[in-house]
């Protein structure tokens, strides 16, 4: 019970406690490791314990919100760059006579070109391999992959405008993905952000 009284010095002597020090005199006092101090404070005051738990939860929520924001920012950047990519497809790969369904196949084919170059699988292949997951392959991408994907969309738009065939673009984009992923994974600054 928290009504039981034992001085810090008595506690240290009777339990051979470590992580807690008690000194008397002018600069004396009781000093404890933060975990011990939190436990004692929680034991003495239920209000403190409740405050401590709520504050910890708030800090964890803030941390999670920052991580979500960082991921969402990269995902949004990838979506914006995708518009650059689709404009290049529209201007250079889609003949005027195609139906809307045929046009969607061209867009899907170009999206899969990027998926294969970066992830090694088409959207359908990923979906078949991951039936329990909702969304698509890009929703489960790491931040590094989203950065590379964003870069690849811009590069593919340039390659399309240069008139390169899809197979030639795939080879180049795969090499770019490998180079950029290697660089990002080995980047110490990026590791600090995580």
Position 54 in a domain: no
Range of the domain at 38: 8-44
Clarify whether residues 33 and 125 are in a common domain: no
For the chain, give the secondary structure using H, E and C.
CCCCCCCHHHHHHHHCCCCEEEECCCCCEEEECHHHHHHHHHHHCHHHHHHHHHHHHHHHHHHHHHHHHHHHHHHHHHHHHHHHHHHHHHHHCCCCCCCHHHHHHHHHHHHHHHHHHHHCCCHHHHHHHCCCCCCCHHHHCCHHHHHHHHHHHHHHHHHHHCCCCHHHHHHHHHHHHHHHHHHHHCCHHHHHHC
**pLDDT number for residue 175:** 93
Tell whether 51 is covered by a domain: no
**Residue 80 included in any domain:** yes
Distance of alpha carbon 115 from alpha carbon 9, whole angstroms: 66
Q: Is residue 20 located within the same domain as residue 101?
A: no
- The answer to whether residue 39 sits within a structural domain is yes
Return the pLDDT at 3. Answer: 66
Predicted TM-score (pTM) of this structure: 0.51
Per-residue pLDDT tens digits for 8-38:
788 788 888 888 888 888 888 888 888 887 8
Where residue 114 falls among pLDDT bands split at 50, 70, 90?
A: very high
What pLDDT was estimated at residue 49?
Answer: 83
Q: At 126, list the tokens.
A: 């990923």
* Higher local confidence (pLDDT), 29 or 124: 124
- Which residues, 6 or more positions from 31, have their beta carbon under 8 angstroms from its beta carbon? 20, 21, 22, 23
Q: What is the pLDDT of residues 58-82, one digit of tens each?
A: 888 887 776 666 666 666 666 666 6
Domain-located, residue 20: yes
- pLDDT value, residue 73: 66
- The angle subtended at Cα 63 by Cα 59 and Cα 66, nearest 5°, is 140
User: Total domain count for the chain?
Assistant: 2
- Burial of residue 54 (CB within 10 Å: 0-12, 13-18, 19+) is exposed
- pLDDT on residue 105: 81
Where residue 141 falls among pLDDT bands split at 50, 70, 90? confident
Residue 52 lies in a domain: no
User: At residue 143, does pLDDT exceed 70?
Assistant: yes
């Amino acid at each position: 019970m928290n009504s039981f009284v034992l001085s810090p010095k008595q506690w240290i002597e009777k339990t051979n406690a470590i992580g807690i020090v008690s000194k008397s005199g002018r600069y004396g006092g009781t000093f404890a490791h933060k975990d011990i101090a939190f436990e004692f404070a929680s034991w003495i005051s239920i209000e403190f314990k409740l405050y401590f738990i709520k504050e910890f939860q708030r800090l964890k929520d803030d941390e999670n919100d920052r991580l979500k924001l960082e991921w969402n920012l990269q995902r949004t950047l990838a979506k914006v760059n995708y518009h650059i990519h689709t404009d290049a497809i529209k201007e250079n790969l889609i003949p005027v006579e195609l139906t809307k369904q045929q046009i969607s196949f061209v867009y899907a084919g170009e999206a899969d070109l990027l998926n294969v170059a970066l992830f090694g699988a088409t959207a359908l292949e990923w979906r078949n391999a991951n039936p329990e997951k909702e969304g698509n392959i890009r929703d489960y991408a790491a931040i590094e992959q989203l950065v590379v994907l964003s870069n690849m969309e811009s590069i593919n738009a340039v390659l399309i405008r240069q008139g390169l065939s899809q197979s030639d673009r795939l080879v180049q984009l795969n090499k770019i993905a490998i180079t950029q992923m290697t660089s990002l994974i080995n980047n110490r600054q990026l590791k600090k952000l995580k």
